[in-house]
């Protein structure tokens, strides 16, 4: 199976990100700093020689704008995919940092169900078909622009670790993790190499 470079990217900064509040499927635009940090990310990727053939993105404004800014510098065809939306936080939308810790940033399924939000299992169920479809394409370099929780679950799927809070794969805004992969068996990925938090380093939560 052909090898593929996947750049898993979190969108640029928004106002709730600055306030360290839960931001799920509420449609919020980037801050001015969010735009600038995505431009810095695009320059970094260009310097690394990244030339994506396709940019898959969540349709939420903050992700789509991030994808557009990346495309203007790197090229590639933008494809919107609903499965890349952020987790639905339900009653916990807008929760502060302490509230996020209480729900384990979305990984506490019981609390998420009580708050009528999505669970990590439900996010995984919608992401797996997307990832399988990407792995079947002939594209050898793709960007995936999504959100904090969705990106964490996607990374957990690729490296095959439990989809739990202790294994959270955190990304800062306008940061990315890199995966060189090939398709494995059914619903599996062979990860050949990984570079995490490539631009900003580990995110403290």
203 domain-assigned? no
- What number is the average pLDDT over the span 139-149? 97
Query: How far apart (Å, rounded) are the C-alpha atoms in residues 131 and 103?
Result: 26
For residue 65, what are its two tokens?
Answer: 């704008």
- What number is the average pLDDT over the span 99-126? 97
Query: How far apart (Å, rounded) are the C-alpha atoms in residues 194 and 55?
Result: 19
Per-residue pLDDT reduced to its tens digit, 37-52 = 999 999 999 999 999 9
Per-residue pLDDT reduced to its tens digit, 164-200 = 999 999 999 999 999 999 876 666 678 899 999 999 9
- pLDDT-derived band at 203, boundaries 50, 70, 90: confident
Residue 202, pLDDT score: 87
Residue 204, pLDDT score: 80
pLDDT greater than 80 at residue 2: no
Residue 11 catalytic? yes
H helices, E strands: number in the chain: 7, 6
Q: Is 80 exposed, middle or buried (0-12, 13-18, 19+ CB in 10 A)?
A: middle
Tell me if 109 sits within 8 A of 125, measured CB to CB.
no
CATH number at residue 30: 3.40.50.1240
Residue 187, pLDDT score: 60
Total domain count, the chain: 1
Tell me if 91 sits within 8 A of 116, measured CB to CB.
yes
Residue 114, pLDDT score: 96
205 domain-assigned? no
Q: Is 55 exposed, middle or buried (0-12, 13-18, 19+ CB in 10 A)?
A: buried
Instruction: Choose, from 37, 86, 118, 139, the residue flagged as catalytic.
Output: 86
pLDDT greater than 70 at residue 105: yes
Domain that holds residue 51: 4-195
Per-residue pLDDT reduced to its tens digit, 49-96 = 999 999 999 999 999 999 999 999 999 999 999 999 999 999 999 999
Q: Is 116 exposed, middle or buried (0-12, 13-18, 19+ CB in 10 A)?
A: exposed
201 domain-assigned? no
Query: How far apart (Å, rounded) are the C-alpha atoms in residues 119 and 107?
Result: 7
pLDDT greater than 80 at residue 1: no
* CA-based nearest residue to 106, from 11, 18, 23: 23
Residue 115, pLDDT score: 97
139 domain-assigned? yes
Instruction: Choose, from 11, 37, 118, 147, the residue flagged as catalytic.
Output: 11
- What number is the average pLDDT over the span 29-34? 98
In 113-157, beta strands by DSSP E: 141-146
Strands 77-80 and 54-57: parallel
Residue 89, pLDDT score: 98
Work out the mean pLDDT of the chain and round it to a whole number. Answer: 95
Residue 185, pLDDT score: 64
155 domain-assigned? yes
* CA-based nearest residue to 144, from 57, 35, 81: 57
């Amino acid at each position: 199976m052909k090898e593929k470079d996947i750049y898993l990217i979190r969108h640029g900064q928004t106002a709730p990100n600055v306030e360290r509040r839960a931001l799920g499927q509420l449609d919020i635009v980037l801050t001015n700093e969010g735009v600038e940090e995505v431009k810095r990310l695009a320059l970094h990727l260009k310097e690394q020689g990244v030339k994506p053939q396709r940019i898959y993105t969540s349709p939420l404004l903050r992700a789509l704008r991030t994808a557009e800014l990346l495309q203007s510098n790197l090229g590639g065809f933008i494809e919107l995919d609903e499965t890349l939306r952020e987790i639905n936080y339900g009653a916990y939308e807008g929760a502060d940092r302490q509230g996020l810790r209480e729900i384990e940033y979305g990984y506490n399924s019981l609390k998420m169900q009580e708050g009528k939000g999505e669970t990590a299992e439900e996010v995984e169920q919608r992401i797996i078909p997307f990832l399988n479809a990407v792995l079947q394409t002939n594209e050898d370099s793709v960007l995936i622009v999504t959100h904090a929780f969705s990106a964490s679950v996607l990374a957990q799927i690729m490296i095959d670790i439990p989809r739990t809070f202790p294994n959270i794969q955190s990304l800062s805004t306008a940061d990315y993790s890199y995966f060189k992969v090939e398709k494995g068996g059914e619903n599996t990925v062979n990860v050949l190499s990984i570079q995490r938090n490539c631009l900003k380093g580990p995110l403290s939560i």
